[in-house]
Amino acid sequence: MKEISDPKQPAWTIPGYLEIRNNHLHISGADAEALADRFDTPLFVFSAPRIRANIARLLQAAAHHARLKLCYASKANNLLGVLRVVRDSGIDVEVNSGGELFRAIRAGFAPEQIEMNGIAKSEQEIAEAISAGIYAINLDSPFELELVERVAERLNRRANVTVRLIAGVGTRSHIGLQTALNTSKFGISPLEARRVMLRAVKNSHLVNLAGVHIHVGSQTPDVDPYLQAFTAMWEHLLWLHSETGHRLSHINIGGGIPVNYLRDRAQAAEIGEGPRTMLAAQLTAAEMIDATAGAVRASAREAGAEGLLDELEIVMEPGRSVIADAGTLLTRVRNEKFRPETGENWLLTDAGYNLMLSMVMYQWYYHAVNASRAAVPHVARYKMAGPLCDGGDVYFDLHGEGRLPDHRLLPGDVKVGEVIAMLNTGAYTAAQMTAYNGRPMPAAVMIDDDGSVEVIRRRDSYEDLLLNET
């Protein structure tokens, strides 16, 4: 289901969620400038109703596939306050490390709701996962199977495992976000995967081979890579069944359902075609699930193996599509300057790549809105940059390769102290933030239906900067 904006409002608005009232941006009913005054900036603002709505949309997409398990990819944002809202919405969770497993358990997820990825898991992390009795540990190499077996033997507990398959599937996402290419660091190649599966079946007293997993990458704009991945998994499942009689209990098709970062297209033309297509992706979970499950059903019918398909749980690991547009980063303009040589106005904010790493790593576009004067036409051009003592800490493409707009559009005459909202900053932002330059990491608040505001992360103090230093 695609969201419709009010044509009389800027295209970034979302009725009932991101709105303009009295010239101020409101987030689920809370005045963004008032939040900035009360909690200071930079400030992450999350909306519980928006998280719930995103999850409801995913569940709805899955409704006509009886056995679908949604595991929120907590790497996208693993704040406890976010995890609790996700858990209360009725879905499960994917973790990527012992630390994320710890967070998921602390947030109240039951072991059977948790599955674990990870490309260099330590023996300790594997032991923690096996002891907890989680739904699946996704194996990333033949070596890792041996390691899991060893730990399972030592703990005298059988481990649930899934083989993470690399099927040479490319996507039209940023190369850094593609994870199923033969050249990527993830997973097990098809030939190796068969060897691993046979060994796991042979050692069934130590491991329960529960499934196959493929994650094609993040922000995947098309359905084709999913089709290829699903087909590859299905082939492995059939092969394993014919070779050994072993029946897998799930197929995991990973995450990657995209978010449209260019709902407001005011600056879309200033972004090169490749990144623009990726950032404006509109593929929905429903389209993806219908196409992939449909294709496998057809091939199952052909192979006379529909029974196998009906037994399967289909697992998905959505991250970005749950949390990206449920988060807004509020930042204040702290400095301004004019360069007569270039005729450009600069705005220096208190949020840099220490809070939006993807902006410099992948030239990610986050739409900027003046929260203090949201109804004023955004037609003046500014060079924008963060506060870090690093020339790369800018909101434009430093290499001049057109992957981001050179300037940001805001109202004319922006003054120091005004609050700028960076939209769609819920995913892969707070989860990656650092205290670089001795900048205390910011607070985060969760807004709920009744406009109530809960601090889910307090702002670091200077003392916190020294935590763990001896």
Ligand X SMILES: Cc1ncc(COP(=O)(O)O)c(C=O)c1O
The nearest distance, CB 73 to ligand X, in angstroms, is: 3
Helix (H, G, I), strand (E, B) or coil at 27: strand
Rounded-to-integer distance, Cα 154 and Cα 148, Å: 10
Rounded-to-integer distance, Cα 135 and Cα 436, Å: 37
**Of 68, 73, 105, 293, which one interacts with ligand X (CB under 6 A)?**
73
Residue span 154-183 as binding mask against ligand X, x where in contact by CB under 6 A, dash where not: -------------------------x----
Rounded-to-integer distance, Cα 193 and Cα 209, Å: 12
The nearest distance, CB 244 to ligand X, in angstroms, is: 26
Number of residues interacting with ligand X: please give it, by CB under 6 A: 18
Decide if residue 28 touches ligand X (CB under 6 A). no
Decide if residue 225 touches ligand X (CB under 6 A). no
Q: Would you call the peptide bond into 42 cis, given omega within 30 degrees of 0 as the criterion?
A: yes
Q: Which of 1, 66, 269, 389 is catalytic?
A: 389
Helix (H, G, I), strand (E, B) or coil at 44: strand
Q: Which of the residues 321 through 340 are near ligand X (CB under 6 A)?
A: 321
Burial 168-200 (b: 16+ CB within 10 A, else e): ebbbbbbeebbbbbeebebbbeeeebbebbeeb
CA–centroid distance for 218 within its chain: 7
The nearest distance, CB 140 to ligand X, in angstroms, is: 10
Decide if residue 256 touches ligand X (CB under 6 A). yes
Q: Would you call the peptide bond into 49 cis, given omega within 30 degrees of 0 as the criterion?
A: no
**Of 10, 42, 211, 319, which one interacts with ligand X (CB under 6 A)?**
319
Taking CB under 6 A as the binding criterion, the range among 236-244, 251-259, 373-381, 399-407 that sits at the site for ligand X is 251-259
Strands 207-213 and 92-95, how do they pair? unpaired
Rounded-to-integer distance, Cα 6 and Cα 24, Å: 17
Taking CB under 6 A as the binding criterion, the range among 21-29, 73-81, 139-147, 401-409 that sits at the site for ligand X is 73-81
Decide if residue 254 touches ligand X (CB under 6 A). yes
Decide if residue 418 touches ligand X (CB under 6 A). no
71 is catalytic: no
The nearest distance, CB 437 to ligand X, in angstroms, is: 28
Rounded-to-integer distance, Cα 330 and Cα 421, Å: 5
Quote the strand ranges of 231-289, DSSP E.
250-252
Decide if residue 419 touches ligand X (CB under 6 A). no
Q: Which of the residues 108 through 147 are near ligand X (CB under 6 A)?
A: 117
Please give the positions annotated as active site. 389
Enumerate binding residues for ligand X (CB under 6 A): 73, 75-76, 94, 117, 179, 215, 218-219, 254-257, 317-321
